[in-house]
């Protein structure tokens, strides 16, 4: 797809229905069980709170709803830091128990040994550079990366090192569009951008941002393609009102009745 300049579409999914929805559209190429699962589905403050067990629980559901898109999951924080051996064991769990096909890991050249290890085991690894949400504390928040010369150089060095280590693709998160374009040209593997401008090989967004399931803070790079929140809130309002007014359920069209003879005998 990179060679043919066909944009790659990636969308997150966290459960069976969102996975089915990704699979029902032939233009979604990759379904990602992102660790954004932590915030958007489980109510955690940060992705660092998500456990491997929680991730596996959700990837199993997503896998049951996934047909065509390539299925990738984030390795949660803590599941690939301790040792190569433990990383390999956790990666195998995500594949055997979680039924995903590929894994995504956040980090630069400092994780190239880990990427090399997993790629060497035959696991497709998606790298992730730029803004790294799992490191939001040490990075002093969720900020655009690579805006100074040193930072920009480091991102290029990291991307090249990760490609060299065997990553099949790389997410570029929240970096200037010029830098993302340059990295995309320098790499043989496809780049998937989020907040990285229009010239990456593909784009990824979080399910809830695409659907507009909530109306809170919207990052600059997010476009809400739907307005599910308005639709959902009005459905809840109508349902609750109908119950209070006793207009739901309808006496006839929405209720069952018993045969009169049977009822007479019963009474
Ligand atoms: O967790 C996530 O949803 C992600 C994508 C936004 C790239 O990592
Ligand atoms: Na993520």
pTM recorded for the entire structure: 0.96
Residue where the block lists tokens 């010029």 = 178
Give the structural domain span for 246. 230-266
Q: Are residues 192 and 256 in the same domain?
A: no
Write the residue with the smallest CA distance to atom 2 of ligand 1. Answer: 34
Asked whether the predicted pLDDT for residue 215 surpasses 90, the reply is no
Whether 172 lines ligand 1, by a CB cut-off of 6 Å, is no
Q: Are residues 201 and 242 in the same domain?
A: no
Q: Are residues 203 and 254 in the same domain?
A: no
Total domain count for the chain? Answer: 2
Write the residue with the smallest CA distance to atom 3 of ligand 1. Answer: 34
Which tokens is 205 given? 């967004």
Asked whether the predicted pLDDT for residue 113 surpasses 90, the reply is yes
pLDDT band at 206; cut points 50, 70, 90:
very high
Ligand 1 atom nearest residue 47's Cα: 1
**What interface predicted TM-score (ipTM) does this complex get?**
0.99
Taking Cα atoms as reference points, which of 204, 147, 154 lies closest to residue 177?
A: 147
Q: Are residues 255 and 168 in the same domain?
A: no
Please give the C-alpha separations between residue 167 and each of 106, 119, 122, in angstroms, as whole numbers.
12, 7, 11
- Ligand 2 centre and the CA of 57: distance in Å? 16
What pLDDT does 33 receive?
98
Pocket test for ligand 1, best of 30, 104, 125 (most atoms within 8 A of CB): 104
The catalytic position among 85, 86, 110, 173 is 173
Q: Are residues 244 and 143 in the same domain?
A: no
What pLDDT does 249 receive?
98
Cβ-Cβ contacts under 8 Å for 109 (sequence gap 6 or more): 157, 158, 161, 162
- Average pLDDT of span 83-91: 98
Q: Are residues 192 and 252 in the same domain?
A: no
Q: Is 87 exposed, middle or buried (CB count within 10 Å of its CB: 0-12, 13-18, 19+)?
A: buried
Q: Are residues 180 and 238 in the same domain?
A: no
Digit-coded pLDDT (tens) for 122-143: 999 999 999 999 999 999 999 9
Mean pLDDT of the chain: 97
Whether 35 lines ligand 1, by a CB cut-off of 6 Å, is yes
CA-to-CA distance for 48 and 87, rounded, in angstroms? 16
What pLDDT does 47 receive?
98
Q: Are residues 158 and 252 in the same domain?
A: no
The yes-or-no answer on residue 54 being catalytic is no
In a domain, 22, yes or no: yes
Whether 13 lines ligand 1, by a CB cut-off of 6 Å, is no
Pocket test for ligand 1, best of 9, 15, 28, 32 (most atoms within 8 A of CB): 32
Write the residue with the smallest CA distance to atom 4 of ligand 1. Answer: 34
What pLDDT does 179 receive?
99
Digit-coded pLDDT (tens) for 1-31: 999 999 999 999 999 999 999 999 899 999 9
Digit-coded pLDDT (tens) for 155-192: 999 999 999 999 999 999 999 999 999 999 999 999 99
What pLDDT does 211 receive?
97
- Give me the sign of the Cα torsion angle 213, 216, 222, 226: positive
What pLDDT does 37 receive?
98
- Average pLDDT of span 66-93: 97
Ligand number nearest CA of 10 is 1
Question: Considering the chain, what percentage of its residues have pLDDT values greater than 70?
Answer: 100
What pLDDT does 216 receive?
84
């Amino acid at each position: 797809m990179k060679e043919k300049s066909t944009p790659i579409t990636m969308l997150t999914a966290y459960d069976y229905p969102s996975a089915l929805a990704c699979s029902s559209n032939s233009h979604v190429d990759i379904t990602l069980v992102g660790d954004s699962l932590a915030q958007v589905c489980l109510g955690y403050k940060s992705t660092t709170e998500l456990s491997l067990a929680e991730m596996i629980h959700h990837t199993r559901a997503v896998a049951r709803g996934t047909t065509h898109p390539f299925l990738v999951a984030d390795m949660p924080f803590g599941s690939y830091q301790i040792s190569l051996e433990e990383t390999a064991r956790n990666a195998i769990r995500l594949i055997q128990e979680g039924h995903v096909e590929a894994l995504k890991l956040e980090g630069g050249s400092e994780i190239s040994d880990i990427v090399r290890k997993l790629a060497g085991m035959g696991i497709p690894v998606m790298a992730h550079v730029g803004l790294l949400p799992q490191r939001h504390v040490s990075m002093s928040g969720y900020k655009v990366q690579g805006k100074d010369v040193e930072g920009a150089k480091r991102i290029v060095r990291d991307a090249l090192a990760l490609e060299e280590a065997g990553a099949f693709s790389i997410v570029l998160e929240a970096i200037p569009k010029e830098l993302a374009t340059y990295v995309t040209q320098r790499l043989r593997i496809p780049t998937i951008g989020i907040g990285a401008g229009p010239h990456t090989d593909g784009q990824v967004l979080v399910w809830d941002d695409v659907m507009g399931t909530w109306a809170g803070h919207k990052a600059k790079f997010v476009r809400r393609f739907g307005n599910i929140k308005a639709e959902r809130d009005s459905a809840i309002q109508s349902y609750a009102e109908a119950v209070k007014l006793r207009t739901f359920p309808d006496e006839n069209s929405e209720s069952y009745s018993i045969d009169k003879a049977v009822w007479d005998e019963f009474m």
